[in-house]
Chains A and B, each alone.
Chain A
Amino acid sequence: MKVLVAVKRVVDYNVKVRVKADQSDVDLANVKMSMNPFCEIAVEEAVRLKEKGVATELVAVSIGPKNAQEQLRTAMALGVDRSILIETDEKVDSLAAAKLLAKVVEEEQPQVVLVGKQSIDTDNNQTAQMLSALTGLAQATFASEVTIEGDKAKVKREIDGGLQTIEVKLPAVISADLRLNEPRYAKLPDIMKAKKKQLDVKSPADYGVELSSNLKTLKVEPPAERSAGIKVDSVEALVDKLKNEAKVV
């Protein structure tokens, strides 16, 4: 069984981004970039499916700039067999990403497509759902446990009130939530080996997909600052402030 994993290059989750002075966007010059944390979880799940003998081939795909090769190499160091970079320097919204991924799904015919639940840059949380709509495949988002049983997958999902279990027909699109697994780190010898693995570079045009978006960002601003608070030196002082100053208790 083939598993496709979608991997996005984003700002590292430890970086506190700043807005550019001209308010056109956030400033990503000289900022550390990494694999989207939810994609790391998706890759880890794919690797575990292979280790369990459920998956036989793992293919990673990324849409992004040339440098996104770094994230694909990381995925291959972790156990992905080969990868595809759909190279573009343009902004790719979730609908366009889903359209491109749908073409890859058509070409590769995976049984399972693993994606992250959310990009930590746009905070969109859309691609998995859109991809499964466009391909007509079943959808299991926010997965915290995945069990493949024959031609079905049983997926435990993190929902607002707790956990829900659904069963989806394969092939299916599954999006990884935080507690699906704990991703491992790549080992040096595997990083070396990954350099020799196959990485095909394509363009959006190769798939006949237009990247134009009907969503335009007019402005990007910093959030409203909270005014600086104070330190209190005792529980008594805190209670006094809450009662008499903030008047919230």
Chain B
Amino acid sequence: MSILVVAEHHNSELAPVTANVVAAAKAIGGDIHVLVAGEACQAAADAAAKLDGVSKVLVADKPAYAHQLAENVAQLLGELGKNYTHLLAPATVNGKNIMPRAAALLDVAQISEIISVESADTFKRPIYAGNAIATVQSSDAIKVITVRGTSFDPVADTGAAAVEALAQDTDAGLSSFVGEELAASDRPELTAAGVVVSGGRGVGSAENFELIYKLADKLGGAVGASRAAVDAGYVPNDLQVGQTGKIVAPQLYIAAGISGAIQHLAGMKDSKVIVAINKDEEAPIFQVADYGLVADLFEAVPALEQQL
């Protein structure tokens, strides 16, 4: 078995989720390589070389890969992929953007967002917003997979793999990067945070979200939101937790003013401890909450912040 893990990174920095994907690769077993495709991405490559279990890091350092444009990176994977039995990437927006394209170029299926490795060809993955778990077996020669990071404990950074530069430069010339608006935050990254405090439509406005931010800061946690809160413009899109947003599994998840639609639950049900604060005692969120508090969030959230 030979596995290529596609690193998630911001050129100068390796994203922690890469270590979770390497853990999934170790569960499959075999020789593990990591691909860092980017521009001026040596720092990310060096960090990847430290991931336990990795034998080699391949670095494709070219302007064509600077912004992870799907056509360019997928083409590279289409070439490299033939040397491997498995291609793995995190089920991040990037991974979801690139991997199915690479799979189609290799004429194989893609297995989305696995949550467990049963064997080298059999995996579990949630379907129907997590209301069912499918066990799927692939008979493709190359298995192209995205991995749900929260389902695998990250490997340690005790390794020392060789780093090798690649000569490939696959610029498809189909798309170009124009710009990005990234939400700057000092808070921990949502999908990796130990505590997440999320607000929903019940929070009522962007100003009121200050209450949620304050509680999160008190707990050293990240802030999340329901789709309704994002749609209403209270918070940016990257805070959405759920079926089509981020998947989180912190030690503590606090949902305030969130009803608990299945699409929201899909993103947070695996949290260790769930607290729900909602003024409607019938709200479905209470069915998954370890501790439910029927209360007005405008009183309960500041009081909680004070008392912690």
Which A residues contact B (CB, under 8 angstroms)?
Answer: 11, 13, 16-19, 26, 93-95, 98, 117-118, 120-134, 137-142, 144, 154, 157-169, 172, 177-179, 213-223, 226, 229-236, 238-239, 241-242, 246, 248-249
Contact B129 A158 (CB under 8 A): no
Contact of A126 among B112, B127, B251 (CB under 8 A): B112
Specify the chain A residue showing the minimal Cβ separation from B176: A167
Specify the chain A residue showing the minimal Cβ separation from B300: A235
Note all chain A residues with C-beta closer than 8 A to B275.
Answer: 238, 242
23 residue pairs A–B, Cβ–Cβ below 8 Å: A26-B128, A93-B109, A94-B100, A121-B128, A125-B112, A129-B70, A160-B94, A162-B181, A178-B244, A215-B138, A216-B138, A221-B132, A226-B288, A229-B286, A232-B291, A233-B293, A239-B304, A239-B307, A239-B308, A246-B273, A248-B195, A249-B252, A249-B308
The complex places the Cα of A137 from the Cα of B70 at a distance, in Å, of 11
Note all chain B residues with C-beta closer than 8 A to A236.
Answer: 307
Contact B174 A159 (CB under 8 A): no
Q: Report A229 CB to chain B, min CB distance, Å.
A: 4
Q: How many B residues are at the interface, by size bracket?
A: 35 or more
Note all chain B residues with C-beta closer than 8 A to A127.
Answer: 100
Which B residues contact A (CB, under 8 angstroms)?
Answer: 67, 69-71, 74, 92-94, 96-105, 107-113, 122, 126-140, 173-183, 195, 219, 227, 230-231, 236-238, 243-244, 246, 251-252, 262-263, 269, 272-275, 281, 286, 288-295, 300, 303-304, 307-308
Contact A232 B292 (CB under 8 A): yes
Known: A161-B183, A242-B275. A166 touches B176 (CB 8 A): yes
Contact B175 A169 (CB under 8 A): yes
Contact A141 B96 (CB under 8 A): yes
Specify the chain A residue showing the minimal Cβ separation from B178: A165
Note all chain B residues with C-beta closer than 8 A to A177.
Answer: 244
Contact A238 B293 (CB under 8 A): yes
Q: Report A105 CB to chain B, min CB distance, Å.
A: 13
Note all chain B residues with C-beta closer than 8 A to A128.
Answer: 100
Contact B238 A120 (CB under 8 A): no
Contact B291 A230 (CB under 8 A): yes
Known: A98-B104, A138-B175. A216 touches B237 (CB 8 A): no
Contact B180 A159 (CB under 8 A): yes
Note all chain A residues with C-beta closer than 8 A to B173.
Answer: 169
Contact A223 B292 (CB under 8 A): no
Contact B291 A139 (CB under 8 A): no
Contact B128 A162 (CB under 8 A): no
Contact B132 A132 (CB under 8 A): no
Note all chain A residues with C-beta closer than 8 A to B175.
Answer: 138-140, 166-169
Contact B293 A141 (CB under 8 A): no
Note all chain B residues with C-beta closer than 8 A to A118.
Answer: 244
Contact A163 B174 (CB under 8 A): no
Q: Report B222 CB to chain A, min CB distance, Å.
A: 13
Note all chain A residues with C-beta closer than 8 A to B109.
Answer: 93-95, 213-215
Q: Report B89 CB to chain A, min CB distance, Å.
A: 12
Residue among A93, A126, A127, A246 facing the most chain B CB atoms (10 A cut-off): A126
Specify the chain B residue showing the minimal Cβ separation from A14: B262
The complex places the Cα of A131 from the Cα of B219 at a distance, in Å, of 44
Contact A229 B290 (CB under 8 A): yes
